[in-house]
Structure 1
Amino acid sequence: MSSQPEPGAEPGSGRPDVLVHRLPSFALPFLALLCDHFTVLDPCTDSPDEPAHAFLARRAGLTRALVCVGPIPLPADTLRLLPSLRLVVATTTGVDKIDLRECRQRGIAVTNAGTTFAEDVADYAVALLLDVLRRMSTADRYVREGSWLKNGDHPLGFKLRGKQVGIVGLGNIGSHVAKRLQPFGCDIAYNSRSKKPSFPYRYHASVHDLAANSDVLILCCTLTEETRHVIDREVMTVLEDRGVIINVGRGGLIDEKELVQFLMRGELGGAGLDVFEDEPNMPKELLGLDNVVLSPHSAALTPESFEALGELTVSNLKAFFSNQPLSCLVQGE
């Protein structure tokens, strides 16, 4: 007896359709891996001149699984173009750009990247902190521009050892950041939704209190309605003019307009920012500040992490199409 193809499968292929939502250029190996196992519908390459909603209506009406590549918005109106959708595989850890309420109401499961990026993001957070404190990026520019020859020594940076570091969000990424900072002799404290007795670090019930007792804040938490602009004017004020903010979470965690003003007035010591509120746009005022290190939302992206992400994505899609349990299922769906 012949087996029946999955609903949404290309006739005769025996492989289910998988829709890819907004594939960036660096993800081509990721796309190739998906194509090895599934019939991939990719509006960007299949019909680049056709409006996305028209492509979805014409090609993806029976599609049951969607892979959302990167922090790309997936609002309710897009989801409603996919009446058969039952799974969204997010390739990010944060899912703040996906309309989870719509997914929950329609019974659409949502998975994320889990711990895939945790170590790479933690490495990057520490690198940003070292860069801001020791002024490595500005020193590089100083040498390249010939200022070392013309003006002499570059201004001194600050040491990391002994700094009081507050971590906002002691989850997968935050705990790896703390582990990396311990050999530097940093005094580590944290704020999280609840106290975590398994960790030996000081807990502060509010971000304001954490900032008041920190030289550095490293933001590793997810973006929710509760954490939006959690770094506000009051938090920046108590962090004071030697304080440093590192953000590898989401841009919306910081009141960006206030941050710009604090940095321009010299009321903060510096910032290392991998994420912004309106990416890829960012405040142009930051471009001229030597105490700010800017990065294009790339903390998570290494060939190694992307390979692991591809394996996790394929594994979850295979589990879905064979009615097996999913990994990294987002709570609340």
Structure 2
Amino acid sequence: MTSDSLALDASTATPELQTGTAHHVLRVGPVNPQVASSLDAEFGALVLPTDPAERTAFLAEQGDQIRIAVCSGRFGVDTELMRALPSLEAIVSFGVGYDATDVAQAAERGIPVSNTPDVLNDCVADTALALYLDTLRQVSASDRFVRAGRWDAGQNFPLTTRASGRTVGILGLGRIGAAIAHRLEGFGCRIHYHNRSERTESGYTYHPSVLALAEEVDVLIVAASGGPDSVGLVGAAELAALGPQGHLVNIARGTVVDEDALVAALSAGTIAGAGLDVYENEPHVPEALRELENVVVLPHVGSGTHETRADMAELVLANLRQFLRDGTLRTPIS
């Protein structure tokens, strides 16, 4: 799906729909600037106040008029907000994750939810590969070593771990997980995985549990979907199974990994290192993780390229325009 194909919706959207949506579209939390601009100019969207008192007054006055909520993976339509929107017909979310939205209540009320899959697969997979290489070869740590003048002072940087030819486990062999696996094949890696269901067509080695997967691999890459079903899938037992030479990479959701158990494992040397783009309570990153030299920490930038964010923004707007046109969403979640 390209920006050009998505942009076709802008030219085919009818003026009647554009002018008839005032006070029916609500923006929840900060969103991509391109989306925010279009929501204001094209749809006359209202913005949910952040101040609690203002928010309560706003919802009392406007809540029953809102038909569509536009949000992000981080700032979704939670349980309380959804209950305050009795006329809500659809939720359009920027991002592949939607765990900040009460999808159970949405399903009960027949409210479809869309996200922005596929257009971010490559950039997130690229980020996973960057973390994989950095974690094993300690690129960031080497950079800090040089900048601190330690090499110039005659010190040698410690040996690192070979990245090619490893046995790599992928937790969640969906679109992004498969894109990561494809990249790792180019490094001669053997791919193992755990998924909700076995994907025999992949040709990779399947394991029936995360623990069984961790026991057999050198590196565990977390690419599972967020949400209640995946909370704590990687805990102390799985980290112990990964072993003192093992590494963890997480580009999925911080909640999939027990963060306290991860800090304990890294501090005690139960695992060798970790590369993280996501955390339990973003943007808070535990001080213990920030201080450890065997951890690479990124500020949730997996899809953070100009090209991908533009494609994600176009897909959000395409979903919104399509729903206003015919009551369907282009990329509804299953």
What's the TM-score, normalizing by structure 2?
Answer: 0.90
Whole-angstrom distance in 2 between the partners of 1:60 and 1:5: 23
**Equivalent position of 1:314 in the other structure:** 317
Q: Is the deviation greater in 55-64 or in 290-299?
A: 55-64
Q: Which residue does the alignment assign to 1:30?
A: 35
Could you tell me which of 204, 208, 213 is aligned with 1:210?
A: 213
Corresponding residue number in structure 2 for 1:39:
44
Distance 1:95 1:62 in 2: 23
Cα distance in 1 for partners of 2:267, 2:88 equals 47
Alignment partner of 2:145 out of 122, 136, 142: 142
Counterpart of 1:83, as a letter, is: P
Given residue 14 of structure 1, which amino acid in structure 2 is its aligned partner?
G
> Structure 2 stretches of 5 or more lacking a match?
1-13
Whether 1:105 and 2:108 are equivalent positions in the alignment is yes
Match of 2:304 among 301, 304, 322: 301
Q: Quick one: distance in 1 between partners of 2:192 and 2:159?
A: 27
Distance 1:49 1:250, change over 3 A: closer
**Of 181-190 and 75-84, the range deviating more from structure 2:** 75-84
Instruction: Please give the residue correspondences for 1:1-333 in structure 2 after superposition, counting only pairs within 5 Å.
Output: 13-16=19-22, 17-24=24-31, 27-43=32-48, 51-331=54-334
Which is further off, 77-86 or 213-222? Answer: 77-86
TM-score, normalised via structure 1 length? 0.90
- Name the SS for the 2:108 alignment partner: helix
> Is the Cα–Cα contact under 8 Å of residues 35 and 317 in structure 2 kept in the other structure?
no
**What CA distance in whole angstroms lies between the structure 2 residues aligned with 1:147 and 1:37?**
56
Write the letter of the residue equivalent to 1:21: V
Which residue identity does 1:43 align to in structure 2? L
Aligned AA (2:98) = V
2:15, 2:174 → 1: CA distance?
A: 43
The alpha-carbon deviation at position 151 of structure 1 amounts to: 4.2
| Residues 265 and 32 of structure 1: CA distance in aligned 2, closer, same or farther (over 3 Å) | same
| Cα distance in 2, alignment partners of residues 99 and 315 from structure 1 | 22
1:43 shift after superposition:
3.5
Contact 2:30 2:75 in 1 (8 A): no
State the aligned residue count: 320
CA distance in 2: counterparts of 1:119 and 1:35, whole angstroms: 30
Return the structure number with greater helix share: 2
CA distance in 2 between partners of 1:216 and 1:289 (Å): 19
CA deviation map 1:61-96 (0-9, x unaligned): 311011112322432111122121110011121222
Is 1:33–1:310's contact at 8 Å kept on the other side of the alignment? no
Cα separation, 2, equivalents of 1:193 and 1:319: 31
| SS of residue in 1 equivalent to 2:118 | coil
| Partner deviation per Cα, 1:84-139 (whole Å, 9 max, x = no partner) | 11100111212222111211222211111121211111000010111111111111
Distance 1:186 1:34 in 2: 45
**Using a 3 Å threshold, how does the CA distance of structure 1 residues 133 and 294 change in structure 2: closer, same or farther?**
same
CA distance in 2, matches of 1:197, 1:279: 36
Could you tell me which residue of structure 1 aligns to residue 6 of structure 2? none
Q: Give distance in 2, aligned partners of 1:42 and 1:116.
A: 26
Please say if residues 118 and 176 of structure 1, whose CA atoms lie closer than 8 Å, have aligned partners that are also in contact: yes
SS at match of 1:190: strand
- Contact (CA 8 Å) 1:60, 1:82: kept in 2 or not? yes
